[in-house]
Structures are given as structure tokens and as C-alpha cells.
């Protein structure tokens, strides 16, 4: 009886320990690039340009529907992400977009990618920030791979290598 009870507790505890409420998650990543902001913006300001600088993106296809701009990203592992451009601001060098659907374990995902002048001349600071919830938004227990940690891991896994490669691409002048 006692043993059964402890097994029951052991089964119960992990889900309680990882129970998360409806808190939005944040990932921000910045990188300094040795190039003027306009040159960086020329690369990332094009909503269709991700395959040129992001190592995980194989192809991008932009389409316009009902006054909105969307892109379908196909990743190198075959997964796809369908996104809507919310705003392109050339004066502030800023893109805002959201995920409509895709392979990432997130929901209500919204991101901003922007370029600002860096600390020194001919330097830029690129900032990429995302706000999102985990994929599973209902009551715990949360299915494996749909919790906050999985969501954060996925987005960190896109932002970090993405910006690192962007730096390489821009600084090598390709």
C-alpha cells in the first residue's frame, strides 16, 4: 500500500514540478556586426532573404494574400514555418512578424528583428527578440516537448546560430 502510494507520488511530482501558468516567454539575442546599419538592413530587411543568412533555412517563398505578406520557410531538416509580416519599417530598420503555423513547439509567436547603429562607427547592433507561449497552453500535465523549456530551447536554437551566421555573411561581404 505504502509502496503504491510512493509510486503514485513519483508519477505525480514531475508534472507538478514542471507546471507552468500562462506566462509568455522571452528570447532576446543581440550581435555586433562590423558594417554600417544600412548594409545589414539590406540583407535582413528583405522578408524573403532568410536562406541567404540563416544556416537552418533552406528556402523561402513569399506570397501576398488579402493585403498581407506571408512567407513559407522550409528548413534544412524538411520542416516548414508559415509566417506573416506584421510591419516593415525602413526608417527604424525593423521587421515584425508572427508565426501562423509551423514545426516549432511554440504558440502565439511574435518576433522583432532590428538593426541599430553600434557603439563605434561602421558598426551595427542587430537585435532579435521573440515573445511566445509554450505549445501546450492548457492545464497541466504538459505533454513532453510542449513545455516552456522546449519552446525556449527551440527559439534559442534559431536565434543564436542565425545571428552568428548573419555576422559572417555581412562581414565577409558575400
Partner 1 sequence: MSGPAFAYITNQGSNSVSVLELNSGQVVAEIPVGNKPVGVAIASKAKRAFITNVESGNVSVISTEGNKVLKHIPAGTSPVGIATKADGSRIFVADWFNNRVLIIDTILGSQIQSIAISKAPAGLILSRDERTLYVANRDSNDIAFLDTTTGAILGRTPVGTHPFGLALSPDGSRLYSVNVWSDNVSVIDTSTRQVIATIKVGDHPYCATLNADGSRLYVSNTQADTLSVIDTSNYATIATVDVGATPEGVGFSSTLNQIYVASWMENKVTVVDASTNKVLKHIPTGKESRAFGSFILENR
- Quote the CA–CA distance of 75 and 55 in Å, as a whole number: 9
Residues 6+ apart with CB under 8 A from 120: none
- Quote the CA–CA distance of 96 and 90 in Å, as a whole number: 12
Site string for partner 1, 23-52 (x = CB under 8 A): xx-x-x------------------------
Q: Is 20 in the site for partner 1 (CB under 8 A)?
A: yes
Stretch of residues binding partner 1 (CB under 8 A), selected from 14-22, 32-40, 116-124, 162-170: 14-22
Write out the binding residues for partner 1, residues 90-119 only, by CB under 8 A: 96, 110, 112
Q: How far is the CB of 90 from partner 1 (least distance, A)?
A: 17
Enter the C-alpha cell of residue 144. Answer: 513532453
Q: Is 19 in the site for partner 1 (CB under 8 A)?
A: yes
Omega cis (within 30) before 90: no
The correct pick among 4, 64, 120, 139 for binding partner 1 (CB under 8 A) is: 139
CA 87 vs CA 59, 65, 90, 96, 169: distances in Å: 21, 15, 10, 5, 24
Q: Which residues bind partner 1 (CB under 8 A)?
A: 19-24, 26, 28, 86, 96, 110, 112, 129, 131, 138-140
Amino acid at each position: 500500500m505504502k509502496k503504491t502510494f510512493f509510486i503514485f507520488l513519483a508519477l505525480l511530482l514531475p508534472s507538478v514540478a514542471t507546471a507552468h501558468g500562462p506566462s509568455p516567454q522571452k528570447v532576446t539575442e543581440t550581435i555586433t556586426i562590423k558594417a554600417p546599419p544600412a548594409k545589414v538592413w539590406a540583407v535582413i530587411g528583405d522578408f524573403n532573404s532568410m536562406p541567404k543568412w540563416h544556416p537552418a533555412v533552406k528556402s523561402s517563398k513569399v506570397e501576398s494574400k488579402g493585403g498581407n505578406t506571408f512567407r513559407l520557410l522550409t528548413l534544412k531538416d524538411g520542416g516548414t514555418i508559415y509566417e506573416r509580416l506584421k510591419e516593415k519599417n525602413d526608417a527604424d530598420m525593423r521587421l515584425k512578424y508572427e508565426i501562423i503555423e509551423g514545426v516549432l513547439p511554440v504558440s502565439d509567436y511574435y518576433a522583432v528583428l532590428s538593426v541599430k547603429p553600434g557603439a563605434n562607427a561602421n558598426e551595427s547592433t542587430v537585435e532579435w527578440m521573440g515573445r511566445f507561449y509554450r505549445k501546450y497552453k492548457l492545464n497541466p500535465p504538459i505533454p513532453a516537448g510542449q513545455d516552456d523549456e522546449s519552446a525556449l530551447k527551440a527559439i534559442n536554437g534559431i536565434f543564436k546560430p542565425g545571428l552568428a551566421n548573419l555576422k559572417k555573411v555581412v562581414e565577409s561581404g558575400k
